[in-house]
Structure 1
Amino acid sequence: MVSPYLHCMMMVSSFHHLPPNVLPSIQQVEGGRPNLVSENKNGTQDLGVMQINTRWIEPLKRTTGETGATIYKRLKEDTCYNIAVAGAIMKLYLRETNGDMMQAIGNYHSHTPYLNNQYQLKIIKASYQTNASAVSLGNHLSPYQRRLLKAKQKSNKHYNRKIKKRS
């Protein structure tokens, strides 16, 4: 599935040096769209195409000098702004995880280990479904696709060991 926001995602990915399928895969998993507001149990909201959590409004106010109301409106309505913020969040999480792309992707959703791992698996699955993934020829996987597959296999082994221990 090709995202209608692909042009903006590719520009943001290039700017932040992210693999080209990360943002489209996140958007596919998040299921966001312009003007979408999703209520969370903790009282926050997820906004727009990349479902940016409202907890990011305060850091964005400090960084941009814009008002909270302006940032809220832009995150909700301005698709490219929302995607640019998602790219900046991913870049921040990449620094936080010392370049561990899969951990950074999981952190986009949650820092809780189980939720983080489950989100990583959803992103891996989505990356196979999106046409925005790194180009591969025939049965040859791109280097990024190989890393995703290896991470998925590692996560599945870890999950299966946990299940066996519980039995």
Structure 2
Amino acid sequence: MAMMLASSARARRSAHEEVTIGHCIRQAAGGKPWLEKTLWGLRDQEAGWIGAEVANSNGTHDLGPLQINSWWVGKIAQRLRQPPQNVHQWLRYDACFNAAAARWIFLSGISVTHDYWKAIGVYHSPTEWRQTQYAASVANHLRRRYGLGIFRPPEVPH
């Protein structure tokens, strides 16, 4: 019985966390449906959680729901004129800060590459072959979440 109660509490906490993350993704997208879908694709790919700090083999860590690499902490801290330790904590524990950082990283990638899928890849890695694999995986997550029509242009009413 105790195991069932613990499992139920975890499921409720997880469901509440997903609602929170969803709210933060919508907020970060700023009313742009294409950006909201993109952030959901990144979220589904990364599958992080509030409080996450996952070690990588290169000594960095992936932080929070959208698994922002700790390599970004210094850049974000400098841009916001905040201490790096604050940014690190916010990326881990503040889902809305994490989603806003993911938005900034992705949109920065677009401004540099001028290519949606390249920017998706850059979100993950500076290495081209990893970018390609990552973008393909995010595309699969987008198809699963939104259906095969996700990549078709919207129909224009006559």
Distance 1:94 1:15, change over 3 A: farther
Matches for 1:111-130 after TM superposition, within 5 Å: 111-130=126-145
Percent identity between matched residues is: 26
The letter for the 2-side match of 1:109 is H
TM-score normalised per structure 2:
0.78
Query: How far 1:111 moved relative to its partner?
Result: 2.4
Q: What is the DSSP-based 3-state SS (H/G/I as helix, E as strand, rest coil) of the residue aligned with 1:111?
A: coil
Query: How far 1:146 moved relative to its partner?
Result: 2.5
**2: distance between equivalents of 1:85 and 1:20?**
14
The letter for the 2-side match of 1:24 is W
**2: distance between equivalents of 1:124 and 1:94?**
16
Q: Select the residue among 44, 50, 60 that pairs with 1:44.
A: 60
The letter for the 1-side match of 2:142 is S
1:152 maps to none
Q: What are the ranges of 5 or more consecutive residues in structure 2 without an aligned counterpart?
A: 1-14, 154-158
Aligned length: 136
1:146 paired with 2:145, answer: no
The letter for the 2-side match of 1:51 is Q
Q: What is the DSSP-based 3-state SS (H/G/I as helix, E as strand, rest coil) of the residue aligned with 2:36?
A: coil
1:102 paired with 2:117, answer: yes
Query: How far 1:59 moved relative to its partner?
Result: 1.0
TM-score normalised per structure 1:
0.74
2:89 maps to 73
Contact 1:105–1:120 (CA under 8 A) maintained in structure 2: yes
1:14 paired with 2:30, answer: yes
1:82 maps to 98
Contact 1:45–1:53 (CA under 8 A) maintained in structure 2: yes
Range moving further from structure 2, 16-25 or 78-87: 16-25
**2: distance between equivalents of 1:93 and 1:86?**
11
**1: distance between equivalents of 2:142 and 2:48?**
16
Q: What are the ranges of 5 or more consecutive residues in structure 1 without an aligned counterpart?
A: 148-167
**2: distance between equivalents of 1:16 and 1:90?**
14
How big is each residue's C-alpha offset from its partner over 1:101-149, in whole Å with a ceiling of 9 and x where there is no partner?
111001111121211111111101100122xx4xx8xx8x35xx237xx
**1: distance between equivalents of 2:99 and 2:140?**
20
Q: Select the residue among 91, 98, 112 that pairs with 2:107.
A: 91
Q: CA RMSD in A?
A: 2.2
**2: distance between equivalents of 1:18 and 1:71?**
27
More helix by share: 2
Query: How far 1:63 moved relative to its partner?
Result: 1.1
Distance 1:17 1:40, change over 3 A: same
1:33 paired with 2:39, answer: no
